[in-house]
Chains A and B, each alone.
Chain A
């Protein structure tokens, strides 16, 4: 839990960048006799500047649904989401254009963010150097390995220096060095005031998080101060939990 005490203390006085209130989401179908699945019921959470927030939960608990709603790519059935500041989103699966090169991918998404050519170029080289993919800048996305594709996926979320960073298991496929670099980067960004939110599965990561939200039974619980592991981390290992 390094830096968690001080950061948490600062976080409470920090500005709320994302506030979700009473979020409800049910996946249904307009066809008769089909099953609808209620994923979120009355979910609330807040994300503040400078925090590294983890969203945990068992498989199928609704973590990605919650993040997609927070990001704005999925519409909730009811409830409100307030966002202040720019958002960077790294989805679980790399959502990139296979036929574009890495450089072209930066240019395309950079133009979407409204960045100038110089800013895009600077971001591309900075992130390529940091995450070690400089040698692949002229490669097409479909020519990259899964880990390198994930680096580009993450870089696209980071390239415009967002105020809020939403990461859905961003380190999938990373080697150990890149994994550690990723955490250094996340901590640097949080220190600079970025609100970093990530869906996390690994128990050992929980010590790096300033705040932990657990998605369980459609609701979101702040389990930051709970001793030991959450229900979600136990159930992911296949253990019985008392809910």
Chain B
């Protein structure tokens, strides 16, 4: 074994943290892919509907509401699996923060879907983004000495919130504010891009 590299910190990863990261990654990637599919699957029909006079913002709102519902369900399943192995310090907060992590990725997936309306290519973007994000934001010793900008990654602050709620039963307002801001920015971007993609050359009304 003398020839193997020494990685003492790997053994120091608490198993609970690994499970927590698995849960947050699971929620993020499923919600992200759902967001992507939501924006791509009926894009042409959406355009036809908007051309009839249906308000694009109402259409987007229904899509995002459905996405929110699915995210809650996905978060509930992941929370259930997590709860089987760990007792969270603050169960409700833990669940809420898991939902927030899912919503961030759901909106991110929706943004990717609006910008890149191809399921395969869009899925690759979301999957790689989520993997890289979970790895760099996840306090992995393999990702030690990561640059400071990692804290602007989508999962960084949700993970901080989740970790604190899980192990200490509290949360930091700054992290929550950051996540809320992140969601708001993504919502504005999705609305803007969706509006552009649904823009038509003149309405049909008399």
A residues near B, CB below 8 A?
69, 71-76, 81, 83-87, 89, 91, 93, 95-98, 108-109, 111-114, 162-163
The answer to whether B204 touches A87, judged by C-beta atoms less than 8 angstroms apart, is: yes
In the complex, chain B residues whose CB is within 8 Å of the CB of A97: 42, 45
Residue B173 interfacial (CB < 8 Å) = no
Assign chain B's interface to a size class: 10 to 19
The A-B contact count (CB < 8 A) is 56
In the complex, chain A residues whose CB is within 8 Å of the CB of B204: 72, 83, 86-87, 162
Ordered by A's residue number, 10 sampled pairs between the chains whose C-beta atoms are within 8 Å are A71-B51, A72-B51, A73-B47, A75-B201, A81-B202, A83-B202, A86-B204, A95-B44, A96-B45, A113-B52
Which residue of chain B is the closest to A93 with respect to CB atoms?
A: B44
Residue B9 interfacial (CB < 8 Å) = no
B51, B53, B206: the one within 8 Å of A73 (CB): B51
Residue B48 interfacial (CB < 8 Å) = yes
Which residue of chain B is the closest to A91 with respect to CB atoms?
A: B48
Question: Whole-angstrom distance between the alpha carbons of A71 and B49 in the complex?
Answer: 13
Residue B172 interfacial (CB < 8 Å) = no
Question: Whole-angstrom distance between the alpha carbons of A158 and B44 in the complex?
Answer: 19
In the complex, chain B residues whose CB is within 8 Å of the CB of A69: 201
In the complex, chain A residues whose CB is within 8 Å of the CB of B53: 112-114
Interface of B is mostly: loop
In the complex, chain A residues whose CB is within 8 Å of the CB of B85: none
Residue B205 interfacial (CB < 8 Å) = yes
Q: Shortest CB–CB separation between residue A89 and chain B, in angstroms?
A: 7
Q: Shortest CB–CB separation between residue B125 and chain A, in angstroms?
A: 17
Residue B54 interfacial (CB < 8 Å) = yes
In the complex, chain B residues whose CB is within 8 Å of the CB of A163: 206
The answer to whether A111 touches B54, judged by C-beta atoms less than 8 angstroms apart, is: yes
The answer to whether B206 touches A85, judged by C-beta atoms less than 8 angstroms apart, is: yes
In the complex, chain A residues whose CB is within 8 Å of the CB of B200: 72-73
Q: Shortest CB–CB separation between residue A108 and chain B, in angstroms?
A: 7
In the complex, chain A residues whose CB is within 8 Å of the CB of B50: 112
> Given contacts A72-B201, A72-B204, A163-B206, are A89 and B51 in contact (CB under 8 A)?
yes
Among B49, B54, B205, max chain A CB count under 10 A is at B49
The answer to whether A95 touches B54, judged by C-beta atoms less than 8 angstroms apart, is: no
> Given contacts A112-B54, A113-B53, are A73 and B202 in contact (CB under 8 A)?
no
Q: A75-B201, A109-B52, A112-B54 provided; 16 other pairs, C-beta below 8 A?
A: A73-B200, A74-B201, A81-B201, A81-B202, A86-B204, A86-B205, A89-B48, A89-B51, A95-B45, A96-B45, A97-B45, A98-B42, A108-B54, A112-B53, A113-B53, A162-B204
Which residue of chain B is the closest to A84 with respect to CB atoms?
A: B206
Question: Whole-angstrom distance between the alpha carbons of A83 and B200 in the complex?
Answer: 13
Question: Whole-angstrom distance between the alpha carbons of A108 and B46 in the complex?
Answer: 11
Q: Shortest CB–CB separation between residue A104 and chain B, in angstroms?
A: 12
